[in-house]
Amino acid sequence: MIILAVDFGDSRTGVAVCDPTEFLASPVEVIHERYAPKVIERLCAIADEKKAELFVVGHPKNMNDNEGERAKKSEMFAKALAEASEIETMLWDERLTTVSARNALNNLNVRGKKRKAVIDSVAAVMILQSYIDYRRNSNV
């Protein structure tokens, strides 16, 4: 199954896709848009182009498992995306993915403007890789 992961943000949204065997997640793009309906429109176009069957939207819970403002925004966004796309959409815990993405880019010596340009798609890759690893290891 082809799955798209979404790291939804206020001004940038990272997008990643996995191969049909669900082995490897890869970055697709960063959508530079603040208006959620435009982000959803672009995601629908990407899903159509990639023939995606599932959206996995990052759900940024707090470390104590509480849901803050960002988590609520992601929930509302995921609901709107599901309605607009008619593609199954689920939330996936994304705690520490941005931190992990930042660390990975630091290890590759990617800094400044270059890091800002890719960090959201790298975070989306980490969300998706976490999800497909879970599916593989739990035979879902």
Task: State the pLDDT at residue 70.
Answer: 87
What integer pLDDT is reported at residue 66 of this predicted model?
73
- Structural domains present in the chain: 3-138 (3.30.420.140)
Q: Are 30 and 13 in contact (CB under 8 A)?
A: yes
pLDDT tens track for 64-113: 777 778 889 999 999 999 999 999 999 998 876 666 766 776 676 777 77
Task: Look over the chain and give the mean of its residue pLDDT values, rounded to a whole number.
Answer: 88
Q: In what helix (H) or strand (E) does residue 126 lie, and over which residues does it extend?
A: helix 112-138
Q: What is the pLDDT of residues 20-66, one digit of tens each?
A: 999 999 999 999 999 999 999 999 999 999 999 999 999 987 667 77
Closest CA to 94 of 128, 135, 68: 128
Q: How far is CA 98 from the centre of its chain?
A: 11
